Amino acid sequence: MDSKQGRTDNGSNGPRGIIDPSTLVAHDPHDEKHQGAVVMPIYQNSLFTFSTYEEFDQAMAGDDDIPVYSRGHNPTVQQLERRLAALQGGEKARCFASGMAAISTAILSQVRSGDHVLCVDQAYGPTRELLSVFLTQYGVETTFVDGTSIEAFHAAVRSNTRVMYLESPTTQTFRLQDLRACAELARSIGAVTIIDNTWATPCFQNPFEFGIDLVLHSISKYIGGHSDIIGGVLIGSESMLRRINRSEYLLLGGIMTPHSASLTMRGLRTLPLRMEKLEQNGIAVARHLEQLPFVRKVNHPGLPSYPQHELAKRQMRGFSSLFSFETDLPPEEMKAWAGRLTYFRIGVSWGGYESLVTVGRSVPGRGSVQGSIVRLYIGLEHPQVLIEDIEQASQGLGGG
Ligand SMILES: *Cc1c(COP(=O)(O)O)cnc(C)c1O
């Protein structure tokens, strides 16, 4: 066997022994079963057959992750799962039809009727709805806490707290939680920690380093990276993922298709490259916005002015390009401003190549009845073009 074919997923260590993401995404461990195909083929089939009943029985036992039926395992999806586990520094990963499928499966796998969940109060809206509306019907209660304060988590702990659900940074106001402190608290009360790591990506934050148990991402954002896939991934220890696989994963059935897995692997090839560029673009535009007279504050963890900047530097290796700014100007005026932008499209989601804008209502600022919170996603366009676009759209705005 060629020594290159013997490389494992962990064979791409950087100079100091840390996994280097740019090398990892460029080198798949080869598998002689695929004729040396440089890209993993799309296994577009529902079931797998066996030449002997012995082999079939062994596959059905399930412990070796041998594909039997594509709701369980599919080789294309499995390849992506190995790549994502390695990139995030976890033992095992499972991919899902969406980020929400990963989130609901992760939470459902850890709670039973009568249990209590602690959740960050700024978490993704549908996650909050799952906890505050859907799961209360099944006897699971949730307390939402200000994630910037570990004391707030402490104060909300109950004897039946089973899950601490984190999202750091959050994706409207970009607040962080101290991941090490959260993991320590959860461990001391026997609760499981789950984090939505979508904003930071595996490139910029490894929550396992701080003792977090389960890490999930919406693949629909940066990991996919081209605004053409909906998907999710859940990563954790071999034992936790095996338990989830046998139960919630197979029963809820929110699986990723092999075609989406192939597109995701294609996106993954450039993830480290894109993140490097997006970080620079995001910071450049955020710095410019800080100087504009109508901008009250910019919520970007990478800016030195950001209240949690020190914590952000401590637990992240970089900053992605979704952030918001707040202004005293009313949403109607900022919606007109968004409409004047040429290169920012109006729309939800983020993580692709294209810059995006949405406008919401913010808590009133000083001397103002109501202000706006404007969320910007900075894409791969030239940052100077985006800055000039913001300049032209801002002509004649109330504050400037
Ligand atoms: C989009 C998003 C999700 C949900 O992902 P889907 O793939 O849309 O289901 C979860 N968390 C965060 C932070 C998101 O931005």
Distance 232 CA to ligand 1 centre (A): 8
Q: Is the CB of 98 under 6 A from ligand 1?
A: yes
Q: Is the CB of 232 under 6 A from ligand 1?
A: yes
Which mutation among 96, 100, 349 tests ligand 1's pocket best, with the greatest number of atoms within 8 A of CB? 100
383 close to 285: Cβ distance less than 8 angstroms: yes
Distance 219 CA to ligand 1 centre (A): 8
Distance 322 CA to ligand 1 centre (A): 13
Q: Is the CB of 221 under 6 A from ligand 1?
A: yes
pTM of the entire predicted model = 0.94
Q: What are phi and psi of 199, to 5 degrees?
A: -65, -45
Distance 99 CA to ligand 1 centre (A): 5
Q: Is the CB of 220 under 6 A from ligand 1?
A: yes
Distance 21 CA to ligand 1 centre (A): 23
Alpha helix locations (H) across the chain?
21-24, 53-61, 75-88, 99-110, 125-129, 150-156, 179-188, 201-204, 238-244, 250-252, 258-268, 271-290, 309-315, 331-340, 383-394
Residue pLDDT tens, the chain, 400 long: 333 433 344 444 444 555 689 999 998 876 677 888 889 999 999 999 999 999 999 999 988 899 999 999 999 999 999 999 999 999 999 999 999 999 999 999 999 999 999 999 999 999 999 999 999 999 999 999 999 999 999 999 999 999 999 999 999 999 999 999 999 999 999 999 999 999 999 999 999 999 999 999 999 999 999 999 999 999 999 999 999 999 999 999 999 999 999 999 999 999 999 999 999 999 999 999 999 999 999 999 999 999 999 999 999 999 999 999 999 999 999 999 999 999 999 999 999 999 999 999 987 655 556 799 999 999 999 999 999 999 999 998 875 4
With a CB cutoff of 8 Å and minimum separation 6, the contacts of 17 are: none
Alpha helix locations (H) across 157-252?
179-188, 201-204, 238-244, 250-252
Sheet holding 322-327, edge to edge: 297-299, 322-327, 371-377, 356-362, 345-346
Q: Which of these, 348, 393, 336, 397, lies nearest to 375 by C-alpha position?
A: 348
Categorise residue 182: left if φ over 0, alpha if ψ from -120 to 50, beta otherwise: alpha
Q: Are strands 297-299 and 322-327 parallel, antiparallel or unpaired?
A: antiparallel
